[in-house]
Amino acid sequence: MIVQEQQLRNFTYRIFKSIGCPDADAVLAADVLLSADLRGIDSHGVARLGGYVRLWENGRLNPTPNICVVHETPTTATVDGDGGLGLVVASYAMNIAIEKARQYGSGWVAIRHSNHFGIAAYHALKAIEHDMIGYAMTNASPLVAPTFSSERLLGTNPMCYTFPAGKYPPVVVDMATSAAANGKLEIAQRMNVPIPEGWALTPDGKATTDPNAVTTGGALLPLGSEYNRGSHKGFGLSATVDILSGVLSGANYGPWVPPFVAYLQPLDDQPGKGIGHFVGAMRVDGFRPVADFKANIDQWITRFKNAKRINEQQSVIIPGEPEHQATQHRKEHGIPLVDAVWENLQALAVKLGVEML
Amino acid sequence: MIVQEQQLRNFTYRIFKSIGCPDADAVLAADVLLSADLRGIDSHGVARLGGYVRLWENGRLNPTPNICVVHETPTTATVDGDGGLGLVVASYAMNIAIEKARQYGSGWVAIRHSNHFGIAAYHALKAIEHDMIGYAMTNASPLVAPTFSSERLLGTNPMCYTFPAGKYPPVVVDMATSAAANGKLEIAQRMNVPIPEGWALTPDGKATTDPNAVTTGGALLPLGSEYNRGSHKGFGLSATVDILSGVLSGANYGPWVPPFVAYLQPLDDQPGKGIGHFVGAMRVDGFRPVADFKANIDQWITRFKNAKRINEQQSVIIPGEPEHQATQHRKEHGIPLVDAVWENLQALAVKLGVEML
C-alpha cells in the first residue's frame, strides 16, 4: 500500500488530536513521525502511532503537558516534559538550544520526564536550518547488555550528529549504539530467519542467531559485538547517552528507563522522572566562516564518495545520504506501508472515532 | 624495568627542554605523557617521546609556538596551534573551554595546526576538577578504511567523554573509533601472532588475521568491523571526529591529516593546517545541582558493577575504572617500561645530550 505524504500526515494529526493534543502539538508530532517515514526509517514513523496511543490509554502519556525550563545558564538548560510526547518535548528543547546558540555560540538542553522522541535526526536536523551543528540523543527501554553481562541494562540509546554541507545534503550520523537496532530483530522474527552472530545473546550470555533471543530473556549486544572487537566501546557510547540523557537531566537511567511498550510496567523505586534526552546546537560561524566550512565539507564528502571500492557495485555511503534519497523519492512517489501497519492504523482510527486513512 | 613516576617525569621534561620547549610547556607536555603511562596506556606515553623528537628534527614541530585564538564567541573558539606540540596546544584550548563554561555554562574549542595530543582523557579529565563534563577528540594519521572501501582515509580518531562521580572515580569513556587501536596490531607484530578477525583488511578488502596487514597496504576496520555488525556506525563516529576536529577548525582531514611518523611525508595540496582537535566542557550545575548528579551517577555505577555476570570471574567494567586502578598502582609501585622503550629513551638522551634515565 502506497500512501501520499499529505494524506498520512493529515491522518497522523487526526490521531494525535483525538487523544487530546493541542493543535500545534498534533501538527508537530505528525511532522516528527512523517520525517521518519519519509527518510525510510519505517520502524520509527507511523508504525509507532499505536504505541503512543497505548501509552496514553495507560495513563503514561500526558497530551497537554506543561513543558517548562526548570534550570538554566546562558548556554545550558534542563527541561521537564511533564510526561508529554517526546516528539513535542524534544522539539521544544531543541528550539531552546538553537536560541541559546544564536545568542552565545552554543546551546545544550537536558530533558527529563519525557517519552519516546522519534528519530534523533529530526531534532538534530533543526540546527542545520540555522547553519548550526546539531546533536541529539535519548535513552530508551533496557534491551542491551553491557560487555561481560547478559543483563538488559541499556536501551539502544541512539546518538546523532548533523553537519551542514554546501552542494551536498547535510551529513547525518544517526545511530543506535547497539550492534543492531531492535527493529532488525523484529524483521527477522516476522520472516522467521536467523540473525547474524554478533547481534544478540541468550539469557545465559551465549552467542545466538535466534531472532527471538531478546523476547525470550536474552539481550542485544553493544556496537562491537564482542570484547575483542571493541564491544566495551559500544557500551561506553551507550553509557554516555544514558548519563547525558538520564543522569544529567534527572530522568531515569539504566534498567529504570520506563518501557515504551505499554504492557510492560516501569520498575518501582524509579530514581528519576520519565525517560531522558539530550540535545544541542553549535553555530558553525562560532568557529569559522560558514562558506569555508561548507567548501571543506563538500571536499570531504567528494573524497569519501570516491574512495577505492571493495566491490565495484558499492560506493562508500556518506552518513545521511540514503535517508536524503529516500525522502526525495517518497515525497514524489508516496510512502509504502506494509499491510500490518496499514491495518493497525485503520483499526486505530475506528477505535478513536476519527476519519480513516 | 620499573621506573618511579618522578624519575620518568623529570627525564621527559629534560627531553622536551632540550628540543627548545619553554619551561612551562616542557612541564605540561611531560605531565600529559606521564598521565598515559600512569593510566596504563603505554602506547601513548613516553614510548612516543622519540616520535615527537623526530617530528622536531624534520621541522614539523614548532617548540616555541605562538598559540592563539583566531575566532570566538562567548562559548566557542578556534585556536591555531602554530605547529606546536598537541600536548601543549590542546591543554591551552581546554583551559579556554573550561573558562567559557565557568562564565556561560559551556565552552567548545576547535583546534587547527596542531600535532598529536597524547591521550584524549588527559584533556577531558581537566573538566572534572571543576565539576564539569569533559569532551575531547582528535583526528589522526589515516589508517582506517570507511565501510565498503579498503582505502585508508581516517585515523583511529578517538573520542572521549568524562563525567564526575561522588564516591567513585570519574566515568571516563576514551575510545578509538576503530575496532582495535593500532597499538594492538603492533603488539601482535612483535609477538608474531595472528590478530582476531574484524580488526583489519588486506589491500584488496578481504578479512585478514595478519598482524602486518596495515604495514603492507591494508587498513584497520571501523568499530563494528563489518557492515552487518554496524561498521557504518563506527565509520560515522570516526567521520564525526574528523569533521569536528579537522573541518570545523580549518585543520586537515581524511587522507590529508599529516602522519605522526616523521618518515612519511604529508600529502601535497593540504586543505588545512596541521592536525585538528576538538575539546569542550559543560558545567554539571548548568543542568542540576552537582550533589544530585553525583548521587545518581554513583547509583548508576553501583548498578552496572553489580550486573549479572556471564563469567563469575569477570564483572562489568565501568569505563575508566581500570585506568584509575593502574594509576593508583603505578604511583605507588612505579611504571614498567619494556626493554625496547627503555633503550630508545636512553639513546634519545645520548643523542640530545641530556642526563639519562
Across A126-163, b (16+ Cβ under 10 Å) vs e yields bbbeeebbbbbbbbbbbbbbbbbbbbbbbbbbbbbbbb
The pLDDT assigned to A191 comes to 86
Residue pLDDT, tens place only, B327-355: 999 999 999 999 999 999 999 999 999 99
Overall average pLDDT of the B204-227 stretch: 95
Overall average pLDDT of the B182-188 stretch: 85
Residue pLDDT, tens place only, A244-289: 999 999 999 999 999 988 888 899 999 999 999 999 999 999 999 9
DSSP A317: P
The pLDDT assigned to A278 comes to 99
Overall average pLDDT of the B233-250 stretch: 98
Sheet architecture: strand order including A200-201? A207-208, A200-201, A219-220
Band (B262; pLDDT cuts 50, 70, 90): confident
From the number of C-beta atoms within 10 Å of its C-beta (0-12, 13-18, 19+), residue A278 rates as buried
Q: Which residues of A touch B74 (CB under 8 A)?
A: 74-75, 104-105
The verdict on A180 touching B (C-beta cutoff 8 Å) is yes
Cβ pair B173:A240 closer than 8 A: yes
Q: Are B117 and A277 in contact (CB under 8 A)?
A: no
The pLDDT assigned to A338 comes to 92
* Interface residue of A296, A299, A314 to substitute, partner B, most B CBs within 10 Å: A296
Overall average pLDDT of the A80-96 stretch: 98
**E strands of B164-210, at which residues?**
171-175, 200-201, 207-208
Band (A348; pLDDT cuts 50, 70, 90): very high
Residue A293 identity (one-letter amino acid): F
Interface of B with A in 20-59 (CB under 8 A): none
Distance CA B33, CA B13 (A): 10
Cβ pair A105:B249 closer than 8 A: no
Overall average pLDDT of the B301-316 stretch: 98
The pLDDT assigned to B190 comes to 82
Cβ pair B225:A229 closer than 8 A: yes
Q: What are phi and psi of A323, to 5 degrees?
A: -70, -35
| pLDDT(B165) > 90 | yes
Grid cell in block for residue B191? 609477538
The pLDDT assigned to B182 comes to 84
Grid cell in block for residue A287? 568557529
The pLDDT assigned to B187 comes to 83
Q: What are phi and psi of B113, to 5 degrees?
A: 55, 50
Across B147-183, b (16+ Cβ under 10 Å) vs e yields bbbbbbbbbbbbbbbbbbbeebbbbbbbbbbbbbbbe
Could you tell me if the ipTM is greater than 0.90?
A: yes
Q: What percent of chain B has pLDDT over 90?
A: 94
Cβ pair B230:A71 closer than 8 A: no
User: B82 to each of A207, A352, B35, B96, how far by Cα in Å?
Assistant: 50, 65, 24, 17
Cβ pair B316:A105 closer than 8 A: no
The verdict on A145 touching B (C-beta cutoff 8 Å) is yes
Cβ pair B76:A108 closer than 8 A: no
Residue pLDDT, tens place only, A189-236: 888 999 999 999 999 999 999 999 999 999 999 999 999 999 999 999
Overall average pLDDT of the A339-355 stretch: 96
Distance CA B176, CA A293 (A): 25
Residue pLDDT, tens place only, A298-344: 999 999 999 999 999 999 999 999 999 999 999 999 999 999 999 99
Overall average pLDDT of the B24-39 stretch: 98
Overall average pLDDT of the A152-175 stretch: 98
The pLDDT assigned to B264 comes to 87
The pLDDT assigned to B263 comes to 86
Q: Which residues of A touch B226 (CB under 8 A)?
A: 198
| pLDDT(A183) > 90 | no
| pLDDT(B184) > 90 | no
| pLDDT(A173) > 90 | yes
Q: pTM of this prediction?
A: 0.98
Interface of B with A in 65-124 (CB under 8 A): 71-78, 104-106, 108, 110
The pLDDT assigned to B14 comes to 98
